[in-house]
Amino acid sequence: MFFVVIAGIMWNPPDRADRGMPPSERPVATIQVSLHSSIPKEGAPPEKDVGTPTDNGAAIAAPRAVTVTIMVDKELLADTEKDATILQIVSLMHETSERFSHNFGISFFYTVVPWDYLPGDIEVDIHNALDDVERQWTVQMSDITVAVTKKGLYHETCSKAETQLPCQKSYKGGIARVLGNSAIVSMHMVTFHAFLHELGHVFGAIHPDTDIPSVMSSTYSLVDYFDENNKAIIMKYRERVFRPKNIP
Ligand SMILES: [Zn+2]
């Protein structure tokens, strides 16, 4: 049996949030989502340590709780559609959580905070933006940070000098470092596939050959499931450590 709990949604919580926190870390909303947890029946035997098989054949051990800070570009929070935008982002993240929970037993607990990055720019270099997200992340914040922006995210490719061709920009829906703890998703991607894809990278998933249907395809197709190889990779890394806990 599965259940979904959404608790403690707060918009601009007064007092509590503003004390002692830099602006970028003040919560806009706190949403805790626990997905697909089994409800033990009274008198039922204790759950096995090894876990139970799922319909994809993977054996899922105890649920893995992962905290996520969703950094929302302040420009998305500035207009009158702010509340609708936050709800849209939260619902995309929610759908992503459901998929991760269903496939890998990973549940996301997330908080929304503002992200102040190059206000006024309509497009940014995707790698510089990811660097900024990583700089904003602190050990206290969460396991993972996912930034959401309405800016165009481009990757620039420059030819060798002797060809004298101008640099070419290609626009991306998002980026994450494989086994890193940060990701960026563009709100130009209106489905949850971008969240699923980038969080897949955070758990080690890689781009498969182009003929393999997968949400991890580099073409950002609308396939909404993981290929078998990436499922195995994510299961392998579901217990990965995010924080340098051993470093004081
Ligand atoms: Zn990718």
The structural domains of the chain, with segments of one domain joined by +, span: 64-159+166-191
How many angstroms is it from 141 CA to the middle of ligand 1?
24
How many angstroms is it from 154 CA to the middle of ligand 1?
14
| CATH architecture of the domain with range 64-159+166-191 | 3-Layer(aba) Sandwich (3.40)
How many angstroms is it from 123 CA to the middle of ligand 1?
19
Q: Quick check: 2 pLDDT over 70?
A: no
Q: Quick check: 12 pLDDT over 80?
A: no
How many angstroms is it from 73 CA to the middle of ligand 1?
21
How many angstroms is it from 190 CA to the middle of ligand 1?
17
pLDDT: which is higher, 98 or 4: 98
Q: What is the pTM of this model?
A: 0.75
How many angstroms is it from 197 CA to the middle of ligand 1?
6
- Average pLDDT on 111-137 reads 93
What average pLDDT does the structure give for the chain? Answer: 78
Tokens 């959401």 belong to which residue? 148
Residue 16 backbone zone (phi > 0: left; psi -120 to 50: alpha; other: beta): alpha
- Average pLDDT on 108-130 reads 94
CB 4 within 8 A of CB 33: yes
Contacts of 17 (CB under 8 A, 6+ apart): 26, 27
pLDDT the model gives residue 28:
55
Q: Quick check: 245 pLDDT over 50?
A: no
How many angstroms is it from 194 CA to the middle of ligand 1?
9
Q: Quick check: 53 pLDDT over 80?
A: no
pLDDT the model gives residue 1:
32
